Structures are given as structure tokens and as C-alpha cells.
Amino acid sequence: MQSQEFTLLLQRCSQGDKQALDELMPVMYTELKKLAVSSMRQERPGHTLQPTALIHEAYLQLVDQHLPDFQNRSHFLGVAARVMRQVLIASARRRHAQKRNGERDGMAEDMPLASEQAEHLLAVDEALSRLAEQDPRKARIIEMKHFGGLSREEMAEALGVSLGTVKRDIALGEAWLRRSLSTPPGVG
């Protein structure tokens, strides 16, 4: 589906058009699948999280709430990236709590994470939250790239900034994130 058609369906949905919502749901699922597969490509070898579980949880969260007034496809993808981040972090927190409490199988996990993966995701989330306090746009761009797999063009459109701004923010944001993740807490 073309970006313009997607945007038109989003606009019709925000106006309460049930038929547009019915048409949009399979397209939303397909878009989420692309984001999840892209996001999973960036994970370390041996991760246990499956894209399908991430897609399902993000999809449920997006359709469970009232759809925001999406401006266009890129805006939708940006919101979806944020939802996927929240889903991943919630899963990582559950995994971390199970490990801390010595639970082996505890509650069945829809999205099993290895302990190391959970720790890494929590560290990235914490670092992104600190970056957002200093520079919300850079944090949002890094979130869109790493949790949503958005292209630079999609990020620029979603945020209403130039492609050059996105490129600079990616370079600076990733450098900040690498430094933050390599510095022990309380140092620096």
C-alpha cells in the first residue's frame, strides 16, 4: 500500500470511519511486522525474542487504545516504534524481576528474553531516557531507528525535520549512547 493511501486510511479512522479501520488493521499488522523484523536484525546473535511475539503485543497495544490522530504513515511508524520499545522494556523488566527473585519458569513469558538481553535492553532504555532529558529529538530518532527500524527519510518525515538533521542526530545520539553504555553508573 502506498504511503498516501495509508495516510488517507489513518485520517478516515481518526474521523470514526469503521470501514477504514477494518481496512487499516491488516496493513498496520504488516507494517508492524516489517518494524519487528528490522528491529530483530539489530539484536545480538543468540537472542531468544521472536519478532512474531513482539508484533502481536505491539499490535494489541495499538488497537487496544483509541488510535491517535496519526498525521501520516511515518507518524504511525514513530508511534509504533515507541510502543515496541515499551513492549521490549516491559518484557526485560519481567525477566529481570524473575532472575532477581530466583524464579525459573514463573509466569509464562510471551516474549522470552535471555538474562543478558534483558539487562542490555534495560541499560539502553535508561540511557535513552537520560538522553531524552538532554535532547528529546535525538533520543526519539535513536528510538525510531533501533526499536522501529525506520529509515532516515521516515524519521525526517515523522519529526518534520530535514534529512541532514536526522543524519547528524543519529551520529551524535549513537555516540552519546555508546559512551553512556560504556561508562559505569555514577561516573562521568
Check residue 89 and report its DSSP letter: H
As a whole number, mean pLDDT of residues 104-110 equals 45
Kindly report which listed range (26-30, 32-36, 99-103, 170-174) carries the lowest average pLDDT score.
99-103
User: CB under 8 Å to 23, separation ≥6 — which residues?
Assistant: 9
Per-residue model confidence (pLDDT) at position 90: 82
Alpha-carbon distance 150 to 82, whole Å?
Answer: 12
- Asked whether the predicted pLDDT for residue 166 surpasses 50, the reply is yes
pLDDT band of residue 169 (cuts 50, 70, 90) is very high
More confident residue, 36 or 12: 12
- pTM above the 0.85 mark? no
pLDDT band of residue 25 (cuts 50, 70, 90) is confident
Give residue limits of the domains in the chain. 3-182
Measured CA angle at 33 (ends 138, 72), to 5 deg: 55
Instruction: Give the count of alpha carbons within 13 A of 60, CB side only.
Output: 8
Per-residue model confidence (pLDDT) at position 105: 46
Per-residue model confidence (pLDDT) at position 1: 64
Per-residue model confidence (pLDDT) at position 151: 87
